[in-house]
Amino acid sequence: MAAWKSNWDRIPVFVNYALILAVVALIASFFPDKLRFKYVYELGKAWPYEDLYAPFDFAVPKDPDAYQQEVDRLRQQSPPLYKRLDSLESSRIRAFESAFRRQIASLEPSQFPDVQRHPDRYLGYGRAFLESLFARGVIEWRLKSPTENIPESIEIVAGNTSRTVGSQSLLTVGQAKNSMGDSLPYSKLAEPDFLLPLLADAVKANLVYDQKLNLQFREKLLEAVSPYQGMVQKNELIIQRGAPITKSVFHTLEGFREQYLLGIQQQKSRAYLFAGYLILTLLVVGVLILYLRYTHSFLFYRLNHLLFILIWPLAFGYFSYLIREESILSPYILPLAIVPMVMKNFYDNRIALYVHLVVVMISSLLSSMGFTFIFLQLLVGIVVVIVKLDTNNWTRFFYTVGLILTVYCLAYFAISLTEEGGIQTMDWASFSWLFANSFLILLAFPLTSLFERIFGFTSVLRLVELSDTNLPLIQLLAAKAPGTYQHSLQVANLAEAAARAIGADHLLVKVGALYHDMGKTKHPELFIENQNGENPHHSLPSEESARLIIEHVAEGVSMARKNGLPRIIADFMLTHHGTTRTEFFYQKFLQEHGDAGAEQDKIFRYPGPRPVSKEATILMLADTIEAACKSLKNPSVQEIDEMVERLVASKAAQGQFEESMLSFGELSTCKQVFRQLLRSIYHARVEYPKETNSAPQ
308-344, pLDDT tens digit by residue?
999 999 999 999 888 887 778 888 889 999 999 899 8
Main-chain dihedrals φ then ψ at residue 37, nearest 5 degrees = -75, 140
Helix (H), strand (E) at residue 219:
helix 211-224
**Residue % of the chain over a pLDDT of 70:** 91
DSSP letter at 156?
E
**Mean pLDDT within 191-206:** 88
Structure confidence by residue, pLDDT tens digits, 526-567: 898 888 878 888 888 888 888 999 999 999 999 999 998 988
- pLDDT reading at 114 higher than 80: yes
For residues 241 and 256, what is the distance between their CA atoms, to the nearest angstrom? 16
Going by pLDDT thresholds of 50, 70 and 90, the confidence category of residue 31 is confident
Residue environment code for 19-42, b if the CB has 16+ CB neighbours within 10 A, otherwise e: ebeebbeebbebbeeebebeeebe
Going by pLDDT thresholds of 50, 70 and 90, the confidence category of residue 438 is confident
Structure confidence by residue, pLDDT tens digits, 145-197: 777 778 888 888 887 788 888 888 888 888 888 888 888 888 888 888 888 89
* 628 compared with 533, residue with greater pLDDT: 628
**Mean pLDDT within 590-609:** 77
Amino acid identity for residue 169 in this structure? S
Strands (E), 69-127: 81-84
Q: Specify the pLDDT at position 686.
A: 47
3-state SS, residue 80: coil
Beta strands 161-166 and 138-139 are unpaired
Contacts of 529 (CB under 8 A, 6+ apart): 481, 483, 484, 486, 487, 627, 630
Contacts of 284 (CB under 8 A, 6+ apart): 313, 358, 361, 362
* 476 compared with 61, residue with greater pLDDT: 476
Quick one: which of 553, 550, 579, 573 has its CA closest to 656?
A: 579
Going by pLDDT thresholds of 50, 70 and 90, the confidence category of residue 675 is very high
Q: Specify the pLDDT at position 388.
A: 74
Contacts of 184 (CB under 8 A, 6+ apart): 192, 193, 195, 196
Half-sphere exposure of 248 (CA within 13 A, CB side): 7
Main-chain dihedrals φ then ψ at residue 144, nearest 5 degrees = -70, -30
Structure confidence by residue, pLDDT tens digits, 641-661: 999 999 999 999 999 999 998
- pLDDT reading at 210 higher than 60: yes
- pLDDT reading at 591 higher than 70: yes
Contacts of 299 (CB under 8 A, 6+ apart): 292, 305, 306, 309, 347, 351
**Mean pLDDT within 349-373:** 87
- pLDDT reading at 464 higher than 90: no
Q: Contact 223/26 with Cβ under 8 angstroms? A: no
**Mean pLDDT within 33-44:** 70
For residues 575 and 573, what is the distance between their CA atoms, to the nearest angstrom? 6
Q: How far is CA 66 from CA 62, 73, 343, 492, in A?
A: 7, 11, 48, 73
Query: Which of the four CATH numbers 1.20.58, 2.30.30, 1.10.3210, 1.10.3470 does domain 460-682 have?
Result: 1.10.3210
* 261 compared with 406, residue with greater pLDDT: 406
Q: Three-state SS across 307-331? A: HHHHHHHHHHHHHHHHHHHHCCCCH
Q: Look over the chain and give the mean of its residue pLDDT values, rounded to a whole number.
A: 84
Q: Contact 580/627 with Cβ under 8 angstroms? A: no
- pLDDT reading at 2 higher than 50: no
Give the DSSP per-residue string, 355-424: HHHHHHHHHHHHHT--HHHHHHHHHHHHHHHHS---TT-HHHHHHHHHHHHHHHHHHHHHHHHHHHSSST
Going by pLDDT thresholds of 50, 70 and 90, the confidence category of residue 688 is very low
| Region of poorest pLDDT, from 229-238, 417-426, 477-486, 615-624 | 417-426
DSSP letter at 135?
H
Please work out, in degrees rounded to the nearest 5, the angle formed at the alpha carbon of residue 236 by the alpha carbons of 232 and 242. 110
User: Which residue ranges does the chain devote to CATH 1.10.3210?
Assistant: 460-682
Q: Contact 546/603 with Cβ under 8 angstroms? A: yes
- pLDDT reading at 612 higher than 50: yes
Going by pLDDT thresholds of 50, 70 and 90, the confidence category of residue 697 is very low
- pLDDT reading at 696 higher than 50: no
- pLDDT reading at 4 higher than 50: yes
